Amino acid sequence: MDSKSGELRKLGVRIKLQDQPFQVLQILLERPGDVVTREELRQRIWPSAFVDFDHGLYNAAKRLREALGDVAGTPRFIETLPKRGYRFIGTVVSDDALSSATPIGDGSSSTGISSNPALRPAPKPRFRLVRVFASVAVVASVLIVLGAASVRTRLFGWGRPPRIHSLAVLPLRNLSGDTSQEYLSYGMTEQLITDLAQVSGLKVISHTSVIQYEKSSKPLPQIARELGVDGIVEGTVQRSGNRVRITAQLIYAPEEQHLWAASYDREFQDALALQSSVAAAIIEPIRAKAAVQTSQGRARRSTPSPEALEAYLKGNYALERMGAGDGIEGYESAIMYFKQAISEDPEFAAAYERLAETYDANYAWRPNEIVPLIKATLEKALELDPESADAHLLSANLKLTFDCDLPGAENEYKRVLGLNPNMADAHDQFAYYLHQVGRDQEAGREAQRAQELDPEGQHTRWQLIATGQYEQEIAELHNHLELHPNDGFAYINDGLIDVYYFGGKYRESADALQKAWTLFGFKDVGQGVGKAYAAAGYAGAMRYSAGQMARLYGEHKVWQPDYIAHWYARAGDKEQAIKWLKIELADNNNCRVGLDREPDLVSLRTDPRFQELARRATLH
C-alpha cells in the first residue's frame, strides 16, 4: 500500500479500491494488531452526523475484504470485533525493511514505515540501483533466448500447478438458444456442485451464492475475490434431441490459469451420471496439489428414464422459485413435476426426496395433514438411497420441528455433515438447532461455516439480531436484495420485517411486510398493509396482517399460526397472541423448542398462560 499515491498493489498489479475502504485500511495499518474502534473510524472518515455511518462502514469493510481476497469468517487481514471495531492481523513490512522482512508492530506510522530507527536497514548506495536494472536486463535476455515459460519454471518455480483449496462452479450457460431449457442448465449446475461438495478437504461454494453470476461480465479474479475462492469452474450445456453436451474448464482464478478442460456428449438420460464424471475429472488436478481426498462417491441406485429426468429437473427449477412471486402455484407445479417423475420411474430416489421437501415447504397444508405424507415420501427416498444427505437433512428437521426428538435431530444433522461437509443449508439448520437449545457458541461456529460456503446467504441473521447489530443486518439484506430482488425469504424468518422492527424502524418494517405478501402471491393483502399503516400505524398494520393470515389459515390457503401469534404480539394484542400460540402447539404436537427465547414475545413472558405453553413445548 502506497499511502502517498493512494494505491494498493498485488504483485505489481494495481487493485482498484475506493477512497473510504482505502482510508479504513490506512487507519488500521497505523496500529497493526491493535483494535481500531468504530467510533474512531466514524470520527476520522464519517464525521458528518447526517451520514448513515453503520451502512457506510459495513460497505467499506466489505469492499476492503474483496480487494484483499479476505473472508470475514476466516480472516487473514481484517478481523471484526462485533460492536467494537476492526483489527489488522496480517504481517506489515515497510518498503525499507523488505530485504530483511522485518515485521512492524506497535509504533508504526500512518505510511506503514516503522518509526523505530533500529528497525530501519542502513541506506543503500545509489549504484546498487544500476546493478538491479542490469540484472533485470540479463534476465530479460535469457527469457527471450530460452523461452519465457521454461525459464520461469527453472528460475522461479512458476508454471507449477497452483494449489486450489476452495472452488466455485459458475452457472453453466445454456447454449440451446431456448429459454425454456434453462431448467436443464440450472439442474446440471446444481448437480455438479453437489458432487464436488462431497470431496473431503475442498471448500465448495453453494449454488445460491453462484447463481448471481449467471449473466455476469465480471472478470474471474474479481468473482473469485467476492466468493473467497481460488478455483473457478465454468462451462456450457447444450441439448439436441435426446443428447446433451457439457463442456467444462477448471481455472486458477487469481491468475486466470487454465488447469483442465474437457467436453462430454451423452444420452440425456445419462446426464446425472455425466455430472459425476465431470466432477471426478475436475478433482484430479486439484487432488495432486492440495490436501483433498477424492470422494468414493455413491453408486446411483438407478438411471432415471429421460421422461423422469426431465420432469425432475423442471420440478427442481419450480421449487427453487418459491417466494419469488409465484405464490402457491409454484408449489403445485413442483409437486406435479415430481409426481410425474416418480410415475415415470418409481425407483427415482431424488424425486421422492424433492417431493418430500416440497410438501414440507408448502405453506397451504396443515401439519396433521402434511407431516404423515412427508414422512412416507421421505421413508421411500431413504429406502432407495440411504446415503442421501438431502433426505437426512429433511429427516433432522422433522425430528426437531414435529417430533421434538432432540437427540435424534442432532444425530441426523451430524450424519448429514458427514455425508456432505460442504452443505451450507446443513450447517445453517444445525446452527438453528443449537441456538434453539441454548448452545450459542457452537451455533455461531456452524452459522459462520454456512456463511463461508454460501457468502450470499444470510446465515448469521440470528447472531446479529441477538447482539443488536440491526444496521449491519439491514445492510447485508439490502446487498442481498440488490442481487435477488424477488427473494421473498429475505423479508421473513429474521428478515427485513423483523430486523426493522427490532431496530425501531416501524415504517420500514411495514413496507417490508407489504413486499413479502406480494412476493408470496398475495398482492391484495400487501396493498391492505399499506392502508392499515396509514390508518392506525404499525400496530394497525400488524393487526391487519395477523387477521388476514388467520382468514387464509381458515381457508386452508396458508399454515402459519406462529406468524399470526407473533404479529398479534407486536400489535399489543396478548389475547389473540396466546390463542394462536395454542393453535400452533396443537398443530405441532406441542413441539416448539426455544419458544421462551423468541425476542418478539417478550411482552408475553410474564403471562402465566405463556409460561405454561413454553413449559409444555420443552418437555420433550
**Is the pLDDT confidence value at 537 over 50?**
yes
pLDDT of residue 11: 62
CB-based contact 110:2 (threshold 8 Å): no
pLDDT of residue 273: 66
Backbone region of residue 468 per phi and psi (left: phi > 0; alpha: psi in -120 to 50; beta: other values): left
Q: Quote the cell numbers at residue 519.
A: 412476493
Residue 608 burial (CB < 10 Å; 0-12/13-18/19+)? exposed
**Is the pLDDT confidence value at 248 over 90?**
no
Q: Quote the cell numbers at residue 45.
A: 472518515
**Is the pLDDT confidence value at 213 over 50?**
yes
Write out pLDDT tens, residues 399-442. Answer: 988 888 889 999 999 999 998 888 888 999 999 889 888 888 89
pLDDT of residue 569: 92
d(CA 609, CA 538): 26
Write out pLDDT tens, residues 580-592. Answer: 998 888 877 667 7
Which range (176-180, 325-329, 414-418) has the least confidence? 325-329
CATH 2.40.128.20 fits 166-295, yes or no: no
Write out pLDDT tens, residues 541-575. Answer: 999 999 999 998 888 777 678 889 999 999 999 99
217 secondary structure, DSSP code: -
Return the number of other C-beta atoms located less than 10 Å from residue 72's C-beta.
17
Q: Label residue 136 by pLDDT band (50, 70, 90).
A: very low
Q: Which residues pair with 262 in a beta bridge?
A: 248
Comparison of pLDDT for 321 and 45, the residue scoring more: 45
Sign (positive or negative) of CA dihedral 194, 274, 217, 320? negative
pLDDT of residue 102: 34
Comparison of pLDDT for 197 and 509, the residue scoring more: 509
> In angstroms, what CA-CA distances link 154 with 142, 163, 254?
12, 19, 22
**Mean pLDDT computed over every residue of the chain:** 77
Mean pLDDT score, 48-65: 69
Write out pLDDT tens, residues 452-506. Answer: 888 777 777 777 777 778 888 888 888 778 777 777 888 887 788 988 998 899 9
d(CA 298, CA 280): 12
Mean pLDDT score, 320-326: 58
d(CA 461, CA 599): 13
Mean pLDDT score, 82-100: 70
**Is the pLDDT confidence value at 298 over 70?**
no
* Fold assignment, 8-90: Arc Repressor Mutant, subunit A (1.10.10)
Q: Which H or E run includes 238?
A: strand 231-240
Backbone region of residue 577 per phi and psi (left: phi > 0; alpha: psi in -120 to 50; beta: other values): alpha
Which range (149-163, 208-222, 255-269, 515-529) has the least confidence? 149-163
**Is the pLDDT confidence value at 1 over 80?**
yes
Tell me the CA end-to-end span of the chain in Å, nearest whole number.
58
> In angstroms, what CA-CA distances link 108 with 6, 34, 64, 103, 117?
18, 11, 21, 10, 11
Write out pLDDT tens, residues 328-381. Answer: 666 788 889 999 999 998 998 989 999 998 888 765 566 677 888 899 999 999
pLDDT of residue 180: 67
d(CA 240, CA 292): 36
Q: Which H or E run includes 589?
A: none
Give the length of the chain. Answer: 620
**Is the pLDDT confidence value at 138 over 70?**
no
Mean pLDDT score, 303-329: 73
Mean pLDDT score, 138-166: 49
The SS3 call for residue 259 is strand
Q: What is the strand order of the sheet 85-88 is part of?
A: 35-37, 85-88, 78-81
**Is the pLDDT confidence value at 43 over 60?**
yes
The SS3 call for residue 495 is coil
Of 431, 442, 377, 385, the residue nearest 409 (C-alpha)? 431
**Is the pLDDT confidence value at 29 over 80?**
yes
pLDDT of residue 142: 41
CB-based contact 140:118 (threshold 8 Å): no
pLDDT of residue 467: 75
pLDDT of residue 544: 95
Q: Label residue 150 by pLDDT band (50, 70, 90).
A: very low
